[in-house]
Every structure is written in C-alpha cells, then in structure tokens.
Structure 1
Amino acid sequence: MSYTYFTLIRHGKPDDCDRLLGRSDPELTDAGWQMMAHASAGLEAEQIISSPRKRCSAFARHFASSQQLPLQIDDNWQELDFGDWDGELLQRLWQQPEFNQYWQQPFDNCPPNGESTQQLLQRVSAAITDLSNRYPGQRLLIFTHSGVIRLVLWWLLNGQHSGNAHLSQVHLSHAAKLDFTTFKDENQKLWPQLAGLQQSTFVDDGSPA
C-alpha cells in the first residue's frame, strides 16, 4: 500500500485583501512573502504544485528553484471564480442580499457569472485523485487558496452538500497548512485521511508569533 502525502499551503497576505479575491491577481505583500517562507521552511517534497494566481505562483517558483524541485502550475488549484463579485470590496458585498444568501448556502447559490461550489469541488477532488495516481509514495507541496483548502477539508470529512460549515466554522489564516494522505485499497478505491491543520504563527512585524 502506497500513500501519497499532501501539504496544502494557503498563500500569504496579498495586496487588496479587503476585496473578494478569486481570479483577481494581486501580488503578495512583503509580509505575505515572509509568511509563506516561514510556512514552507523545512518542508520536504518531491513535487511542487501551484495555482496560477501570482499570490501563490510567485513564491512557488522561488521555492521550487531554491530547492531544485519540479514545479507544476495547475489551474485546478486556483480559487473559486467569483464572477461579477470578483475584486469587489467585501464591505460592499456584505450589503447585498445575494452575497449573504451565497455565504449562508454556497451549495445552493452561485456567484453571478461565476463558478459554483460543486464545480470547485469536482475539479479539486479530480486533481487529488490524479495526483494520487501519478505520485504514489511521494510528498506533494501545493500552494493554493482559502476556498480550495476549506473545501478539501470538507471533502476529507465527507461533508454533505448543504450548509456553510467549511466557510463559517473554520478559521484559516494566511499561510495556513493542511496535511492529508491518500491511498488506494485492493479494489482501487481512494481513501483520504486528514493529518492536520496548522494556522500560521507568523505576524506582520516580520517575526514569528
């Protein structure tokens, strides 16, 4: 039996973090870069994978180069496409009934001209299955986003397609880490197992908390 080991790291603090960031593509702040350096320090991996968004991929390129590891930029690991809401100020969005409805029931509502929660779940779970098949026994380090990590956590715990527990009941700091494993049994069924969720211990003054 071969396990595949996954570590997902949320990007550090970006510019425009007062806005809803899906396909919007701001750079990391200096503090955000330092958060990711702190989160990835000492991690071992055979494969580095990243969302194409700059708040993930810029540091991923640096890390992969510094460790002399292969890097894959994979659209499956980018944040949900929030459509017409993408890049809007969160303060304004909270004043819209449609946004509140989406927050309360994300499986039943979709951002206007955006991507549904079911579509995000399908692409991310398919990516996990594909990587598990391609890299049995290897350690994978994936730089991704809050929405992706929250939904992976929900998937690991076999959540139901209702409610918003993955949004409202999980605190996820910038540069937080989610660890899990997968393995296939004799019937080729994939079994995922949660290994841990760790918040960032880095603070914006440039030193560990």
Structure 2
Amino acid sequence: MTGFALHLLRHGAPETPGLLMGRTDGVPTSEGIAACAAQAKGLGIERLIASDLCRSRAAGEAISEASGISLVVDPRWRELDFGEWDGKASSAIAADALNRFYDDPDASPPPGGERWPALVARVSTAIADLPPVATLIVTHGGAMRAALHTLCGFDQRQLWAFDLPYASRLSLRIWRGEHPGAQIAGLYP
C-alpha cells in the first residue's frame, strides 16, 4: 500500500491582503508567486492543478513553466464564496456575525454566500476525480480545510487549528481501494 502524494499549496500573498477573498479575484504579488514556486521545487509531481482564480492560477502557471508540467485549471478548488462579505476586511463585518460564522459556518454562512457543505462537496468531488499520481494543487485556505475534512475527518473546530499562511504547503499521502485513507505527511509554512 504505497498510495500517492497530494500536495495542497495555498496561493501566495495578494496585493491587498487581509480581505475575505472568496470569489473576489485579487492579483498576487510577485513575491507570493515566487514563494509558491519555491514550495513546489523537488516534489516529484506528475500532475499540477490550480483554482481558476488569478491568485492561485498565476502561481500554477509559474510552477508549470519551471517544471514543464501542464497546468490543469479546476474551479472546484476555489475558495468559499463569502457572499456579501466577499472582498471586505474582517473589521468591516459585524463581529458577532463573523464569530457565528467561524463557530459554525454551516449554520451561519455569510449572507448570500456559499454554505460549508457545498465547499466540502465540490472539493470532495475534485479529490475523487484525481488520478493516483503525485499531484500538486494550488488552491485556497478554505479548500485546503475542506480537503482535510474529507480526507482526514477533522471537524470544523479542529480545522481552524491549522495555520495556513500564504504559500504554505500541506502534504498528504492518499490510499484508495479496499482500505482508503489519508495521512498528513507535513505542513510547510
């Protein structure tokens, strides 16, 4: 049972950090792209995927160019849609509403936004569609947490215990077949 490596890489810093950027597409900094490219070196990947949002796709394009591996763009790896909160700073949102969201994002989703189970469902489907080869996915913090929920069974409170700064890489080993499972191999900030 050797499984395959799955690396989830959060996009690099956007030009305007500190915003709830779900569907809002922010331009990444050149330093953020370089930090992502550095995280991708030496992974021995065979497949490269990125969210369709520029802040992830730009890093995926840089990694593709450096590695010679074709980039597959997949919108299922997008961040949670924050609805009316999208593109706003946390300080611009009522603290009690934001706290309710962080305590239970399913019961208290952002107004007009995506519910947590919808994010988990689309990320779960994207994971199920992966071929069993070493893969790097350039994505977003919310999608990475949804993947951890799907693959490792972490609950929502446990998922917030993971610090996933810009350009951080979460490496996992995935097993399929009769005894499916996943194991965290490392978190590299």
TM-score by length of 2: 0.91
Unaligned runs of 5+ in 2: none
State the alpha-carbon separation in 1 of the partners of residues 90 and 188 from structure 2.
Answer: 23
Deviation, structure 1 residue 173: 1.6
Matched, 1:166 2:159: yes
Task: Give the corresponding residue for 2:48.
Answer: 48
Maintained 8 Å contact 1:48/1:72 = yes
State the alpha-carbon separation in 2 of the partners of residues 80 and 70 from structure 1.
Answer: 26
State the alpha-carbon separation in 1 of the partners of residues 142 and 176 from structure 2.
Answer: 26
Task: Give the corresponding residue for 1:21.
Answer: 21
TM-score by length of 1: 0.83
Cα 1:86–1:151 change in 2 (3 A) is same
Task: Give the corresponding residue for 2:8.
Answer: 8
State the alpha-carbon separation in 1 of the partners of residues 181 and 22 from structure 2.
Answer: 26
Task: Give the corresponding residue for 1:203.
Answer: none
Deviates more, 1:73-82 or 1:171-180: 171-180
State the percentage of identical aligned residues: 31
Maintained 8 Å contact 1:14/1:55 = yes
State the alpha-carbon separation in 2 of the partners of residues 43 and 153 from structure 1.
Answer: 20
- Pairing of 1:13-162 with structure 2 (within 5 A): 13-93=13-93, 95-131=94-130, 135-136=131-132, 138-160=133-155
SS in 1 for 2:129: helix
Deviation, structure 1 residue 2: 6.5
SS in 2 for 1:110: coil
Structure 1: which 4+ aligned runs deviate by more than 6 Å? none
List per-residue Cα deviations over 1:135-183 (Å, max 9, x = no partner): 22x11110001111122223333134xx53312x221121111112323
Cα 1:197–1:107 change in 2 (3 A) is farther
Deviation, structure 1 residue 119: 0.4
Deviates more, 1:14-23 or 1:74-83: 14-23
Work out the number of aligned pairs and report it: 189
SS in 1 for 2:25: coil
State the alpha-carbon separation in 2 of the partners of residues 110 and 171 from structure 1.
Answer: 21
- Computed over aligned residues only, the root mean square deviation of the Cα atoms, in angstroms, reads 1.8
SS in 1 for 2:136: strand
List per-residue Cα deviations over 1:38-90 (Å, max 9, x = no partner): 21122211111000111110121121123221211001101011111000112
List per-residue Cα deviations over 1:5-50 (Å, max 9, x = no partner): 2111011111221211111111111321221122112221111100
Maintained 8 Å contact 1:180/1:192 = no
Maintained 8 Å contact 2:12/2:59 = no
Kindly name which structure, 1 or 2, has the bigger radius of gyration based on alpha carbons: 1
Maintained 8 Å contact 1:106/1:164 = no
Unaligned runs of 5+ in 1: 201-209
SS in 1 for 2:108: coil
SS in 1 for 2:27: coil
Deviation, structure 1 residue 108: 1.7
